[in-house]
Amino acid sequence: MGAIPETYFTAWGSLFQCLRLTPDDKLLIRGATCALGYVAVQLAKALGCTVVGTTHKEDKLPLLKEAGCDECILDDGTIKGKVNGVTKVLELVGIKTLRDTMFALDEGAVVCNTGVLGKVYEWDSFDPIKDIPNGVYLTGFFSNYPTQKMIQDIFTFIDQYNLKPLIGAVYDFAHIKDACIALDSGKVNGKIVTMMR
């Protein structure tokens, strides 16, 4: 239960509210080996989408396949020419790769910028006319306003498809420092959960 609310809500809002994901979509998740990325893969595959996942760590490519990605791409900072037919994108690296992502897409594709894995928080000198390619659409998801209906819809979907959160590590609340260190290290594959006993 503790691994569901924020992560699933952010993935759900990004995929279904912002991207309007359908089973016919080919979804690119840039930064797919974070906890949010794993959840997005899970939700999209349950819906019936084709999923392309990226990671910048070669040793995490097998994890993308294991998570359910149909295509796995090693992200060296440029994906133009490495993807085709993508209709929707969940951008989790963020502003650091957003422009590259948009220019790798065909006309009609939609990008939802949700993450900041690249640790760049503002887009200096952003020019929407030049930085968003003609015919590509950009949106973003801000996860601070869940509604009761949305949370209920998420749990209904989870139950319907028998989904389980990918929990990478569990820490007692007394060891919250260790949980934070594990989070910053990027070595845990899945959600980090802290528990009060």
Q: What's the per-residue H, E or C state across 47-107?
A: HCCEEEEEECCHHHHHHHHHHCCCEEEECCCCCCCCCCCCCEEEECCCHHHHHHHHHCCCC
Average pLDDT, the chain: 91
The domain spans of the chain are: 5-140, 167-197
Least confident of 3-7, 34-38, 107-111: 3-7
SS3 194: strand
> Residues 28-72: pLDDT tens digits?
999 999 989 999 999 999 999 999 999 999 999 999 999 999 999
Percent of the chain with pLDDT over 90: 70
Per-residue pLDDT at 2: 57
The arithmetic mean of pLDDT across residues 72-85, rounded, is 95
CATH T-level topology, domain 5-140: Rossmann fold (3.40.50)
